[in-house]
Amino acid sequence: MPRSSEANKSARLALALSVGTVISANIVGGIVLGYLLDRWLHTGPWLVLAGLVLGTINAVIGLFRVVARLNRTD
């Protein structure tokens, strides 16, 4: 097996393992930002919910980007 093939497999594995980080960071980031804005603006749970929705949408977009990079043929 050539050396570049091993490096390619390692890079693809690292990219696949980053999926959990991409998903959790986006969702938790949206919730935390919404919570801080709710405390500052005294708006109740509405910005936390908006942050959750936006974080989830961003996580799905990030997931699609990772999958697209994994499916790319080099």
Q: Within a domain: residue 49?
A: yes
Domain count, the chain: 1
42, part of any domain? yes
In the predicted model, what is the mean pLDDT of residues 44-67?
95
Q: What residue type is 38 in one-letter code?
A: D
- Higher confidence at residue 60 or residue 1? 60
Tell me if 63 sits within 8 A of 38, measured CB to CB: no
Size (the chain), residues: 74
* Structural domain boundaries, residue 52: 19-71
- Over the stretch 20-32, which tens digit does the pLDDT of each residue have? 999 999 999 999 9
Asked whether residue 23 is assigned to any structural domain, the reply reads: yes
Q: Is the pLDDT of residue 2 over 60?
A: no
Model confidence at 1: pLDDT above 50: no
Closest CA to 33 of 16, 49, 15, 14: 49
Residue 10 covered by a domain:
no
Tell me if 39 is assigned to some domain.
Answer: yes
C-alpha distances in angstroms, 43 versus 9, 31, 56?
48, 14, 21
